[in-house]
A and B are shown apart, each in its own frame.
Chain A
Amino acid sequence: MQLSREALLGAYRRMKVVREFEERLHVEIQTGEIAGFTHLYCGQEAVAVGVCDHLDREDKIISTHRGHGHCLAKGCDVVDMMKEIWGSREGLCKGKGGSMHIADVDVGMLGANGIVGAGAPIAVGAAISAKIDGKGKVSIAFSGDGACNQGTTFEAMNLAVVTQAPCIFVFENNHYSEHTGVDYAVGTANDIASRAEAFGMKVWRADGTDFFAVYETMREVLDHVRAGNGPAAVEFDTERFFGHFEGDPQRYRGKGEVDRIRETRDCLKNFRASVTSAKLLTDEDLDTLDAEVLAEIENAVQAARAAERPTADDVLADVYIAY
């Protein structure tokens, strides 16, 4: 274990922010206060944080429709995110994007995406840009097991190899493409990484519910890519605590499945167990952080509720050709 106490506390805090941000959304959505479609990332926090903890603002990521975790891990402001999901004109995207289309180029977050598989080619473009600039920066394409079946992902992987762009394809296999199991939908079931291998990339595989496994794996992947070896791919085996979208009754999941994964495959629980048993942090340290994060989320929700609503005049803001 090479992480400092500060790094451990920071990683836990970021995972906890994602977790509580989403658990709170899950509650608030029931009230009908939040409009539209929301797809929760809960359960996969170790991936977003374990990947983004290695990046700085100049490195780019592109996300998916299940993007809150990636946005928060890359540095999007918690309050501005909450306001955006509430549809406020004070939101990160002025209430124009909502849950599925949050972006903040200032922190290198090039967008969540409502279209499954659309992000990978965009990430390759950002990676080509990084290669031209020659500063050792990278671009990350987060994709799920659903997106790995889209042609765009294949085209993007090939273009990345052809151009030797520093793009990392991060496949988060949470075992469900919307409501369909990976065993059915993915021809190379439970081995998405082999697809990237077929395009000529070096690939890694790790347990996506284990922060330390993600973090250490990404260190290797990034060393490889930042050294100028072209693109790479990594597959994380992870878990989705909620349904495809909020309101999904999840009739396709096995009895007790969610309870079981929450018990045994919860990245936050497992993180706590390993750092406390190794005496790196104490339960008190983490409990203190938990309380801080809950207060931060409460504050964000109150800010979102109180934030200014957009008006009809805002419909045409940032349209550059109006008729």
Chain B
Amino acid sequence: MAQMMYREAVVSTIAEEMERDPNVVMLGEDIVGGMGTAGGPEAIGGIWSTSVGLFDKFGKERMIDTPISESAIIGAASGLALAGKRPIAELMFADFIGVCLDQIWNQMAKFRYMFGGKTRCPAVLRLVYGAGYNAAAQHSQSVHQILTGMPGLKVVMPSSPADVKGLLRTAIRDDDPVVFLEHKALYGMKGDVPDDPNFTIPFGHARLTRAGEDVTIVSSGLLLGFCEAVADKLAQEGIGCDVIDLRTTSPLDEEAILDSIEVTGRLVVVDEAPPRCGLAADICALAAAKAFSSLKAPPQAVTPPHTPIPFARELESAYLPSTDKIEAAVRKVLGWR
């Protein structure tokens, strides 16, 4: 086991996989940084420092610094993948998918199906998402609800350095397009990471991070830690919470959610995406459709309000689900009738 930060887990996993498989290449804006400037290449190493050192190791053929051209980046990733490479494409901010949605949604996500299964498209899109940086409405969004709704994409949301390591390795080795969502507020998080160079985490397997028999809390990403804090606090009162980290929203581990609800009879879903037609609503609907007889209370969704993300510190704090809001939702399902 090594202690490393979430960000370090990203860069070390990419380095190891590029070392292991010469077909793995990376492309994106400023992933090298400094190209064509007096400072020279590798002056940046990714604006989130998630590709530091990779240019020196792998050179410009495999570390492709691109112009600011999101459609071209994602399209080129598809073309690289169709031609036999395993590209990792980075978008600095997940919000930018609006610029290149066609290339994600109509192109790479559909090739395998549309082309009769003869074509695979082993591309990884690394997108940096989430609020908490006062980066406001165009640089703070959680886009997994949009991407999860698109058939043909696998959507991954690691919440710890170990999960980054195991899930990113799985993503790079996967033969289909994977969207790998890194929460910008988790980059500094430290944790133990297995040293085994073949440590992988399969997609579609949620992780139970706290165990209890009274309430099921489902979450992912940054907010998972909020849920764990609430569970730890309530445990002191003798209230037991199952906290489920989804890890991947597509595929979704329905079984883990339903098994837990069968025991607890109560569900709280905590998600950073907007409430309408989103992941929280989806999981509440799953409970209603497949665990109705187990439910002792209506499922509760804790999400931001249906609004663009505000800038000011006070406003962003009010926007994001807080431990108080999560605790209130848990108490609400506990106190039903």
In the bound complex, residues from chain B placing their C-beta under 8 Å from that of A97 are 114-116
Identify the stretch in B101-109, B273-281, B320-328 within 8 Å (CB) of chain A at 4 or more residues.
Answer: B101-109
Identify the stretch in A19-27, A157-165, A200-208 within 8 Å (CB) of chain B at 4 or more residues.
Answer: A157-165
- Does B132 have its Cβ within 8 Å of any Cβ on chain A? no
Nearest chain A residue, comparing its CB with the CB of B251? A321
B74 and A121 contact, CB distance less than 8 A: yes
| Distance from B60 Cβ to chain A, minimum over Cβ atoms (Å) | 9
**In the complex, which of the residues B74, B83, B113, B151 contacts A130, with contact meaning CB atoms closer than 8 Å?**
B83
CA distance A87 to B110 in the complex (A): 17
- Does A46 have its Cβ within 8 Å of any Cβ on chain B? no
B118 and A123 contact, CB distance less than 8 A: no
| Distance from A218 Cβ to chain B, minimum over Cβ atoms (Å) | 21
CA distance A103 to B81 in the complex (A): 14
- Does A276 have its Cβ within 8 Å of any Cβ on chain B? no
| Distance from B123 Cβ to chain A, minimum over Cβ atoms (Å) | 9
| Distance from A233 Cβ to chain B, minimum over Cβ atoms (Å) | 16
- Does B141 have its Cβ within 8 Å of any Cβ on chain A? no
Known A163-B64, A321-B151: A128·B79 in contact at CB below 8 Å: yes
Which residues of chain A (120-147) have a CB below 8 Å from chain B?
A: 120-132, 139
A103 and B83 contact, CB distance less than 8 A: no
Number of interface residues of A (CB under 8 A): 49
In the bound complex, residues from chain B placing their C-beta under 8 Å from that of A152 are 71-72, 75, 102-103
- Does B202 have its Cβ within 8 Å of any Cβ on chain A? no
Which residues of chain B (286-329) have a CB below 8 Å from chain A?
A: none
A96 and B114 contact, CB distance less than 8 A: yes
**In the complex, which of the residues B71, B82, B110 contacts A155, with contact meaning CB atoms closer than 8 Å?**
B71
Known A318-B112, A318-B117: A128·B176 in contact at CB below 8 Å: no
- Does A94 have its Cβ within 8 Å of any Cβ on chain B? yes
A124 and B106 contact, CB distance less than 8 A: no
**In the complex, which of the residues B62, B84, B106 contacts A114, with contact meaning CB atoms closer than 8 Å?**
B106
Interface-central residue, B113, B151, B204, by most chain A CB under 10 Å? B113
- Does B66 have its Cβ within 8 Å of any Cβ on chain A? yes
B82 and A93 contact, CB distance less than 8 A: no
- Does A69 have its Cβ within 8 Å of any Cβ on chain B? no
Identify the stretch in A105-113, A170-178, A189-197, A279-287 within 8 Å (CB) of chain B at 4 or more residues.
Answer: A105-113
- Does B76 have its Cβ within 8 Å of any Cβ on chain A? yes
CA distance A115 to B110 in the complex (A): 12
In the bound complex, residues from chain A placing their C-beta under 8 Å from that of B251 are 321
B102 and A128 contact, CB distance less than 8 A: no
B118 and A93 contact, CB distance less than 8 A: yes
- Does A48 have its Cβ within 8 Å of any Cβ on chain B? no
A104 and B79 contact, CB distance less than 8 A: no
- Does A222 have its Cβ within 8 Å of any Cβ on chain B? no
A-B contact pairs, 6 of them (CB 8 A): A91-B116, A125-B87, A139-B79, A158-B67, A159-B66, A320-B112
Extra contacts besides A122-B103, A124-B72, A124-B75 (8): CB < 8 Å: A92-B116, A103-B114, A120-B75, A126-B79, A126-B80, A130-B83, A156-B76, A159-B72
